[in-house]
Amino acid sequence: MKDIPRSRTEFTLRVYDEYVRVSKSNPERARLLNIRYTGLQAYSMMEGYERMKAGMRLYRLSTGTGAASRYREINRMYASISPSLGDGAQVSEFLARDVAFYMGWLGHYIADAAQPLHNSKHHDGWEGENPHGYTRDPEIHSRFESTYVDLIAASEQDVLRYVNAKPRHFDDPWIAILDHMIEARDSAEEVYRLDLRGAFANRDDVDARKLVYTRLASGAAFLRDLAYTAWIESAKDDPPLKDTDVPSNPLNPKYNPATGSAPAPAPIKK
């Protein structure tokens, strides 16, 4: 699949269509063409980013620093719900905590995506042809991401030196998310090479330590960068919408009758 759909539902349907096509000629390969193996973590990350951005926008509005929005009077709206929500400063505090929650929720998927095996068909032991004799033991997964991390007692200082100090703003977070996963996948075979020579039993193995530190750093930096991007984007005015922009409108140019909606639009390039 060269062009990954921006719609979770459309992706699911396309994976099934591919399964039906491939199963006729290669049943063994078709066995891996399902959501259990392809996963949906890219969509979980994108949805998490949007939650975080929306939460930041509401926080900005509650503190009087937001852009033009139909929710400009958000503090008054909350106060109308309950007298207990009449304190604007308290509402802002609640909304800040919402953002922190969304950030932590998103961080789970970002950390998962930084783990090389989570982006490979070899996630629980080497699949298919195996000329190098890599393990097929599913425990390699936990040996790398849990047991070895505990063995070396990875710390914040170990990881920080691999984190780029300057945050990035992403023009298209969806593409950035896919790139984050692909970058991690490129280290999948390295996990198996290290395991083959017993590196994950040696707390002093330089290469194994570096792989752990760089993968942790990648996840940490990417969460920061998505938060930075969301904060910048949350300050912008709500984009003008036409009736045909609504995803469920069949007149939307990208409406897919199989999903009953259009995918989220790509950011407008300026």
Render pLDDT for 50-105 as a digit per residue (tens, 0 to 9).
Answer: 999 999 999 999 998 777 777 778 888 889 998 888 998 999 999 999 999 999 99
Which amino acid, 37?
Y
Q: How far apart are CA 268 and CA 48, in angstroms?
A: 20
Beta carbons within 8 Å of 75's beta carbon, 6+ residues apart = 62, 88, 91
Q: How far apart are CA 203 and CA 121, in angstroms?
A: 27
Per DSSP, the residues of 78-112 read HHHH-GGG--HHHHHHHHHHHHHHHHHHHHHHHHH
Phi, psi dihedrals of residue 212, rounded to the nearest 5°: -60, -50
Crossing angle of helices 173-185 and 88-114, rounded to 10°? 40
Residues of the chain with pLDDT > 90, as a percent, come to: 76
Residue pair 211/145 in contact by the 8 Å Cβ criterion: no
pLDDT digits 0-9 by tens, 142-169: 999 999 999 999 999 999 999 999 999 9
| Token couple for 146 | 């849990």
Q: How far apart are CA 213 and CA 29, in angstroms?
A: 34
